[in-house]
Amino acid sequence: MNKYIFRVTCSILLTLLLVISTGCTSTNKQEKTTAKEEKVELTISAAASLQDALKEIQTQYEKKEQNIKLSFNFDGSGKLQQQIEQGAPVDLFFSAAEDKFQTLVTKGLIDQKEGKNLLGNELVLVVPKDSNLKDFQSLKDEQVTKIALGTPESVPAGKYAKEALTHLNLWNDLQNKVVYTKDVRQVLTYVETGNVNAGIVYKTDALISKKVKIATTAQANSHEPIRYPLGIVKATKHKKEATAFYEYLQSKDAIAIFKKYGFTVL
């Protein structure tokens, strides 16, 4: 009888141990699942010209902050501005033009105190490697039939390009040759593929391509200063994480990467 009671008791104890063990395992799984679910995704709308630098910064930041996933929306600053105005779920805006950024500040979508002019750039004329074009004046030559520019209304590089050509008294002569693009990277692509004779882009864009060369640089006084404002969008649902990345983009590590790609730091 004692042996029987002992066996029953052991059986009950083993069953209890299994139940407790299963419960702990289930809890651990739930904790791991919760940890995964807590990973925060930040959406950054950024000018197309920032693409290479920000992709490298993304790699560094996600290694450092493993609970953060960065998602970038690269396009012309004007288009990105409109998307934010229409309620697109964006956490940070990194524009290539002050006016696009200030429009959002004026409309109350970005707090001026949570924005900063971070970077600067230069405007250059790029041509295929085998081209003989050497300056803006040569764009009037009959052999030049197509010149790529970003659409001035929505692409800051296109606006600066129009200003520079107007300053040089070339705009009226060249308007019929202009091919407009959706962003500055498309200008670069058109020149790389030979679809146009020349294009006007940022210096940073020209430096990443092995298929084009810089014919000349526009004088700084020929267009508005090229400044890149960065700011936190008020509607962000991840204020703490957005603020942390906003501050990281101003850190020594991020600045070193921006400089590597040819940006100047303001």
Over residues 141-192, the pLDDT tens digits come to: 999 999 999 999 999 999 999 999 999 999 999 999 999 999 999 999 999 9
More confident residue, 212 or 1: 212
Q: What structural domains does the chain harbor?
A: 40-120+226-265 (3.40.190.10), 123-222 (3.40.190.10)
Return the pLDDT at 152: 97
Instruction: Label residue 116 by pLDDT band (50, 70, 90).
Output: very high
Return the pLDDT at 28: 53
Nearest to 238 by CA among 39, 12, 42: 42
Nearest to 50 by CA among 88, 80, 84: 80
Of the chain, the end-to-end C-alpha distance in Å amounts to: 89
Average per-residue pLDDT for the chain: 91
Instruction: Label residue 38 by pLDDT band (50, 70, 90).
Output: confident
Return the pLDDT at 34: 45
Enter the tokens of residue 223: 């267009």
What is the percentage of the chain residues whose pLDDT exceeds 90?
85
By the 10 Å C-beta count (0-12 exposed, 13-18 middle, 19+ buried), 28 is classed as exposed
Secondary structure string (H, E, C) spanning 216-242:
EECCHHHCCCCEEEEEEECCCCCHHHH
Phi–psi pair at 73, nearest 5 degrees: -120, 100
Question: Quick one: average pLDDT of 240-263?
Answer: 97
- Which segments of the chain are extended strands (E)? 40-47, 68-75, 92-94, 110-120, 123-128, 147-150, 178-181, 198-202, 212-217, 227-233, 264-265
Residue 129 falls in which region: left (phi positive, over 0), alpha (psi -120 to 50) or beta: alpha
Instruction: Label residue 31 by pLDDT band (50, 70, 90).
Output: very low
Taking a C-beta distance cutoff of 8 angstroms, is the pair 115, 145 a contact?
no
List, in sequence order, every residue forming a beta bridge with 213; answer none if it has no partner.
127
Return the pLDDT at 138: 97
